[in-house]
Chains A and B, each alone.
Chain A
């Protein structure tokens, strides 16, 4: 009967969670046209699958499937599509100021914009990334590393980057599937494989990277928690309070942080990740993203569209009243105080000042 329905429109979130073990992803893939194909300008872009949203100064920038990048200069009331040289799903976006930003996505794509998101240049893709890893491995003497890099090349560009963090216009990290992590010190002109510096022997997926109180944290699959206290020079595994996957984290300058993921699980740490305390959310669905409101309050969102508010930087979370809206993959506060979320059905704009109204 599904034949008569749009799966896209009525996405059965629970069904798609059917976790089948996928073994032996081995077949080499031919050239991927999408890596060199400019994103189609589409009137449907605001309702397409969007995976992340951020601010570039006063501007909102959302990214998603098919290389779609949407810009809004009026706090999300209207959107226009940017020119993007690739057509793959973009998974994360960050701007360090009103002009300078990066977006990452599937098939190893890294894009850069220097004009507040209006135009984008491809800095790297999966083919180049694999090559990079191979060259780097060949320079060392580690047989396993070389073998991994050779596999990377043979697999083709099938691995996504899932998050990124830039501390300024020059220094940044991108993280992704199977423990992929790259580091740049020149704004992305060149990238170094950083897997060797990360304590992730199983090559678990890295889902989020964020700073908190001077340290840099990475969260990932199966409760993976990594911390770097040397400005990203190396990442050490932390003892994890949870064996399910973390999908993201939010940190504060004071060093408090909250990591969240599968089945409504959220954990708070007030000591740079040494100890964690479970935060009750009352949710059974995965938490996908979080953002900080201008007044310092923290908002977390579930994939099903629930919103959780924390007035105390993650120590406690309160379910915001009202029915769950559209699914949420990312959210950010707009300049006018409204909350912008993106997800499987595109952009949603929640009316003014959630924070003050709901408290």
Chain B
């Protein structure tokens, strides 16, 4: 966007500062440039204060922020969260023996020591911890007289062959096979319920710390015979936080790569260093402001510093480029800085406004983490106005640019303008302003759009990978999760239907019969593996109460018998006051289709439900929350596209005042959006909380390119140039910068592809793709479309339109 000032007037070259009238320029310019030391001092102070604040920024990964808390399903869940004890936070640690079986002295010794160490970890709900070694793990058998039982590992255990055999027998009759003990007897589980608030310290559970302690224990006890597998929500969060710290390293890589690109472009150490410094200051301010406002960096908003840095780099590059050209012409560096400020402040504001629109649109999505992202990004953009539109020119006015680089820049510019020989790349791009190439480009674009659209129809909502979708499929955690699913009757995808009844009425026959009917309907659906509920337990209990005879397996329509089951029922099936039942639906996966089927069947059942005083409610459990998230995301995707395209079209129209130009600018963006969706299908990504912002950011930032290129084309065509000439001018003025911006932005976000956090990698790949394709669209498809949409006769017939060709945001 440098030099894209439509007036294109060449400022007078003023070599000596004394010849320059400091009272020239608008109020803003005078206010800033006539008090340069104060501005620098102010910025220095702000940097110190915010830098101190930034050091206090926390890393966090909150679950609640990633879910749509206003959706009725989630609201239902949150309202009754304390009563849903089955969904409490817990960790499951499987200790596996590679050879032999768990009925092994060494194995049980290791298990005992691990068990004792975990027992002492802060945050563990000690009385409810369960493993082969806890006294709560018992065996039971029915005798003629009643019940017989004891702990699975007897008090007399001494590690001898006989006592190991005793343990084996007890395990077999404990009913724990598939729960605490794997069916192949090669592993057993330590079940560790966690307290959300530590009653001793009163502090909330520190997932990151607990996760590190568990990893330390894993390192300590794992060897070639013993493998340890850890799963649980807190472990996911812990791994995310660990991954987030790692992502910060990528920031360094992104900085290094963009510095290299910029230096390659300018060949000037001084100015490159300044641009990087200002962009880093922007990031520092942004993080400092976030910390001051009480925000943490989460895995989503960690994207923003990357974007802010990259956007800052591209704007800084343009400022520097302008100053460099002026200095090259012989202008004094202070005057050059002021000229550049005059020419580019408005244009820079326009571009930043476009970016801001892309971010702001995200506020329509009622998911806090995305709204936080929008706010964080808005702060970042606001900060950029200070650091890169004001501070950078001022610093450049002190330091200037390298003389050689300035000459080189001027030489290149004049050579390109005067010489008849165009740079091969520019000649190639110029081809697209001719009939046959324009036809070709448009046809290819159309073909891509149609093909991409056909593919994008298969775009799924939600997460598609098994295990914890936040982490990579081959991550330690997901391999552990796969081990659990293989060896234990456990599913990590749980959908819970809540059933509200009057106090103490939760085990009435009609209620349980309805729960049972819904459970059986749901079990018919593909993707539903099994269900569990008070109704299912009551059937088993009926057999249990009748000497274990299977023939009593039925929901006996007798409220006395059903009520008696309560005393033996695990608390996760009903609440303390017996007014809330939970129907657990265990799913094979959390694909959107599976969730949608469960939701639809449940909703249809609820609609026909006629029991007085009994209310069936969706939905809790990981899959229940995910179902709600999918619904919100699906709706938000349409809304968001509507808003972001609406805003972009409006912005383009205000800038161009020509619907043809708007079409030429927006059609390539739409192609990018379609191709991005097709790419998601190809990479097996679904539309989810993480990928949704990408779509808006891609369009919001992508339209910059079109704005820069097209505004110059229009100016020159309105001045009478042919499309080819106008486009060549545009390439020389802004094309280079578009290339540079596209590449720096893409590189900055592409480093994310290596993140251990799966959705960050997804975001990085998609954003990099969108930035690159948008750049190509602006350089190839846009001139081709202009050939058809903006024929020269338009400008001959209506010369009066030309007057309106000012960029927005002036003054």
Contacts and interface: CB of A to CB of B under 8 A. Distances in A.
Is B a genuine binding partner of A? yes
**How big is chain A's contact interface, by range?**
35 or more
Nearest to A286: B548
Given A17-B544, A25-B561, A6 B529 contact: yes
B39 to A, nearest CB: 60
Nearest to A344: B550
Given A14-B139, A262-B547, A8 B530 contact: yes
Contact of B550 (A26, A27, A243, A303): A303
A301 B87 CA distance: 38
Contacts of B546: 205
Interface in A13-29: 13-20, 22-27, 29
Contacts of A286: 142, 547-549
A262 B147 CA distance: 13
Contact of A7 (B491, B492, B536): B536
A160 interface: yes
B179 A5 contact: yes
A4 B570 CA distance: 12
Contact of A22 (B139, B490, B545, B573): B545
Interface string B530-544: 111000110111011
A17 B175 CA distance: 11
B489 A6 contact: yes
Interface in B167-198: 173-179, 191, 193
Interface stretch (B551-559, B645-653, B677-685): B551-559
Contacts of B753: none
Given A5-B490, A89-B553, A24 B536 contact: no
B551 A207 contact: yes
Contacts of A12: 174-176, 179
Interface majority SS (helix, strand, loop, mixed), chain A: loop
A284 interface: yes
Contact of A27 (B92, B547, B560): B560
Interface string A174-210: 0000000000000000000000000000000101000
A130 interface: no
B570 to A, nearest CB: 5
Interface string B579-596: 000101010000000000
A25 B561 CA distance: 6
Contact of A51 (B174, B175, B492, B551): B551
Interface string B140-184: 111110110000000000000000000000000111111100000
Interface string A234-246: 0000000001110
Contacts of B416: none
**Quick one: which of B143, B177, B541, B557 has the most chain A CB within 10 A?**
B557
B489 A5 contact: yes
Contacts of A26: 560
A18 B147 contact: yes
Interface stretch (A37-45, A135-143, A165-173): A37-45
Contacts of A105: 554
Nearest to A66: B520
Interface string A65-104: 1100000000000000000000011011000000000000
A356 to B, nearest CB: 29
A301 B514 CA distance: 34
B140 A15 contact: yes
A244 B549 CA distance: 13
A288 interface: yes
Interface majority SS (helix, strand, loop, mixed), chain B: mixed
A3 B550 contact: no
Contacts of B556: 106, 158, 160
A51 B551 CA distance: 6
B793 interface: no
B10 interface: no
B229 interface: no
B560 A284 contact: no
A43 B529 CA distance: 12
**Quick one: which of B174, B489, B553, B568 has the most chain A CB within 10 A?**
B553
Contacts of B523: 42, 44
A40 B516 CA distance: 13
Contacts of A158: 556-558, 561
A11 B550 CA distance: 11
A299 B413 CA distance: 98
B494 interface: yes
B86 interface: yes
A242 B139 CA distance: 25
Nearest to B484: A4
A23 B564 CA distance: 9
Contact of B532 (A7, A27, A42, A51): A7
Contact of A9 (B130, B178, B193): B178
Nearest to B565: A20
Nearest to A284: B141
Interface string A149-175: 000000111101010000000000000
A243 B573 CA distance: 36
22 contacts: A3-B86, A3-B494, A4-B86, A4-B92, A5-B178, A6-B491, A7-B536, A15-B544, A16-B541, A20-B564, A25-B558, A25-B560, A25-B561, A30-B510, A42-B520, A49-B550, A65-B554, A89-B553, A245-B547, A263-B141, A286-B549, A329-B550
10 A-B pairs closest in CB distance: A12-B175, A3-B86, A10-B178, A3-B572, A16-B544, A17-B142, A17-B548, A244-B144, A89-B554, A6-B530
Interface of B: 85-87, 90, 92, 130, 139-144, 146-147, 173-179, 191, 193, 488-492, 494, 509-510, 513, 517, 520-521, 523-524, 529-532, 536-537, 539-541, 543-554, 556-561, 564, 567-568, 570, 572-573, 582, 584, 586
